[in-house]
């Protein structure tokens, strides 16, 4: 580290960052006074407050239905980003959103699917992808819905679609096969999808993971470690996306090198020597004050911008510091 960014992350004027820095970097308990104050204030200020202000009373954003459109202000995106911003799970608007997503985005195969149509009909099973299902699983479990049968069904879809165990059907136009095959990636195994899927499964309580869930996690970790994360040359029919190397926040279906490191660390592999090059690359991206810039900020696409693109970002710095703490 070229500097100590912790005082910057703990500044009172960005309560959402302060709340998560207290929890993730200083291990403050959820009921600590400073944590409760920061979270309560964060719920009243940008970037969380503008999202909640645009929510329809029934629980959706933009238009009713499964909620994939519009990117990135539709229902599923708003819920995913509220989780990443550290919104309060007990807030009635957050709970209403969780219930709405489960009521409207659950496909007949148990997965959480994509539909841009304003309809009360659920998405078809061919429209369930690792990226969205994983992102929503992470948010829903983080907001306390692990024991909901629909969440358990989405976990079941997530794990069985990876391993192929007891899995009913793959689709040429969607999730094409076991091991993260995806039509959007030319039927090749999709590393972005793998990262999102593992982020969802990583939130499941370890002692309550079924054997096939554990096998899915092991298979996913093996896939992500099959390439050097610093190169990100995972299977694809196109050149390696430059988005891998543009660290950003929040995170939609795109993943970057740091998010790959984060999920591997969360699953207990932070000190794996195969992460050495990527860790070195991450350290090389900081400025002289030990801060990281937001180079994928979704500027103008969110209910409220979180950062000025290319400027030092508390959000990206928080992400980097969390991983480096586990790798040290």
What's the pLDDT at 291?
98
Q: DSSP label at 113?
A: -
What's the pLDDT at 118?
57
What angle do the packed helices 211-224 and 257-266 form, to 10 degrees? 140
Tokens of 207: 């002692």
> Do residues 180 and 193 touch, judged by C-beta distance below 8 A?
yes
Q: Which residues of the chain have pLDDT under 70?
A: 116-120
Tokens of 159: 């794990």
Cα gap 123→129, rounded to integer Å: 11
User: How many helices, marked H, and strands, marked E, lie in the chain?
Assistant: 13, 4
Sign of the CA dihedral 185, 250, 103, 122? negative
Q: DSSP label at 273?
A: G
pTM: 0.97
């Amino acid at each position: 580290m070229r500097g100590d960014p912790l005082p910057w992350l703990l500044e009172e004027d960005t309560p959402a960052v302060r709340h998560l820095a207290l929890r993730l970097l200083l291990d403050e308990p959820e009921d600590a006074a400073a944590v409760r104050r920061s979270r309560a204030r964060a719920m009243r200020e940008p970037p969380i407050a503008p999202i909640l202000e645009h929510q329809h009373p029934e629980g959706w954003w933009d238009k009713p239905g499964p909620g994939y459109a519009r990117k990135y202000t539709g229902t599923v995106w708003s819920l995913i980003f509220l989780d990443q911003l550290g919104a309060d799970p007990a807030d009635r608007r957050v709970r209403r959103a969780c219930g709405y997503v489960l009521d409207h985005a659950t496909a007949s195969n148990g997965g959480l699917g994509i539909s841009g149509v304003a309809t009360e009909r659920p998405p078809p099973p061919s429209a369930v992808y690792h990226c969205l299902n994983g992102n929503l699983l992470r948010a829903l479990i983080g907001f306390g819905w692990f024991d909901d049968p629909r969440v358990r069904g989405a976990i079941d879809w997530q794990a069985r679609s990876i391993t192929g165990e007891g899995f009913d059907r793959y689709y040429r136009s969607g999730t094409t096969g076991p091991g993260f095959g995806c039509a959007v990636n030319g039927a090749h195994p999709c590393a972005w999808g793998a990262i999102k899927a593992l982020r969802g499964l990583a939130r499941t309580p370890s002692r309550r993971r079924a054997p096939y869930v554990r096998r899915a996690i092991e298979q996913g970790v093996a896939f992500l470690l099959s390439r050097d994360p610093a190169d990100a040359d995972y299977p694809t029919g196109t050149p390696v996306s430059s988005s891998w190397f543009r660290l950003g926040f929040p995170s939609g279906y795109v993943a970057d090198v740091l998010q790959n490191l984060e999920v591997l660390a969360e699953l207990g592999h932070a000190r794996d020597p195969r992460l050495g090059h990527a860790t070195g690359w991450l350290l090389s991206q900081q400025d002289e004050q030990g801060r990281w810039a937001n180079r994928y900020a979704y500027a103008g696409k969110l209910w409220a911008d979180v950062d000025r693109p290319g400027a030092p970002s508390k959000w990206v710095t928080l992400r980097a510091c969390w991983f480096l703490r586990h790798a040290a």
